[in-house]
Amino acid sequence: MKKILILLFTVTIFANPLSQIKDIKRNAAALQGLKLSLIEFKENNLLWRMLLVLNPKKPKGAFWFLPHDNENSAFDSAIYAVKKYGGGFLAVVNGDRRYNRGQDPNRNFSYSKVRECKLQLEPSFIYTQKVMEIINRYKAPNMPYLALHNNTNRGGISILKNSRYTKSFLAYPKEVVLQGKGLADEDSLIYIAGTSPAPPKEKVAKLLNAGLNVKYEIISPQNNDCSMSNFIVLNYGENYYNIEAQHGKTAVQKEMIDRLMSVINTN
């Protein structure tokens, strides 16, 4: 039994099928000068593969998590962020698919050793431990927890939509947002999260002044969905940002990274 546990908790880093990953093929030139490692581990019946990308000239800095392998603009933007600002990112590798055998990687965060959320197939202690170990190892202490996502045009993620647990704050007049252009697009937004019914006014003001639409997520143990935002707030505090941009809008997402970094670096 002890040998099995040791195997489960060991991260294996492979030197080669990196060239087979489509994101790497697409970005071969842009990835020059960065350090790439493929991380693989198992939990329950799921095999997890993740790509760790670091800037060797500045390995400590902003660090991004990319849970969905079908979000290409997020991946391309992460390379831009790491080359410009240092640090690194961790991206789930899953054959360009959003789900790993039915499991959403962004609904799989929990330190509990029992199934905790509806969208979890099985307990995810090992997955969560590995991801957080890597993030905390490379994230600079002054940096928040960061994520990158892509969404669909006028889909479920929109700055014009609120819910019981989310509140939207527009950086532009609604008539401008409805035009669907650039940073003002309803699909371009920054997620922040906390346990209070209202977000910190100063944080929201800085993001809005930087031209970034803001969506605030209200989190509690009762409505925990095992997403990264919920997990971070409930375990590490309210220092979390997620940049959402529409699929294919890489230039917009890069601009959002620049503006968010300017806000973070002035805090």
Domain residue spans of the chain: 2-265
Contact residues for 254 (Cβ-Cβ < 8 A; gap 6+): 77, 80, 81
Q: Is the pLDDT of residue 267 over 80?
A: no
What CATH topology corresponds to 2-265?
Aminopeptidase (3.40.630)
Least trusted range by pLDDT, from 4-18, 24-38, 157-171, 251-265 = 4-18
Distance CA 237, CA 136 (A): 14
Q: Give me the DSSP letters along the chain.
A: -HHHHHHHTPPEEESSGGGG-HHHHHTTTTTTTSEEEEEEEEETTEEEEEEEEE-TTS-SB-EEEE--TT-HHHHHHHHHHHHHH--EEEEEESTT-SSBTTB-GGG-----SS--STT-SS--HHHHHHHHHHHHHHB-TTS-EEEEEEE-TTSS--TT--BTTEEEE-SS-HHHHTT--GGGSTT-EEEEEESSSS--HHHHHHHHHTT--EEEEE--GGG----HHHHHHHHH-S-EEEEEEETT-HHHHHHHHHHHHHHHHT-
Please name the residues in contact with 103: beta carbons below 8 A apart, sequence gap of 6 or more: 46, 120, 121
Q: Amino acid identity, residue 171?
A: A
Q: What is the pLDDT of residue 265?
A: 86
The average confidence (pLDDT) of the chain is: 93
Q: Which of 15-24, 117-126, 127-136, 174-183 bottoms out in mean pLDDT, i.e. has the lowest? A: 15-24
What average pLDDT score do residues 78-84 get?
98
Residues 155-201 have pLDDT tens digits of 999 999 999 999 999 999 999 999 999 999 999 999 999 999 999 99
Query: Is it the case that residue 241 has pLDDT exceeding 50?
Result: yes
Between CA 247 and CA 119, with CA 132 as vertex, the angle to 5 degrees is 60
User: How many whole angstroms separate alpha carbon 99 and alpha carbon 103?
Assistant: 5
Q: What percentage of the chain exceeds 90 in pLDDT?
A: 91
pLDDT at 2: 37
pLDDT in tens, 87-104: 999 999 999 999 999 999
Q: What is the pTM of this model?
A: 0.92
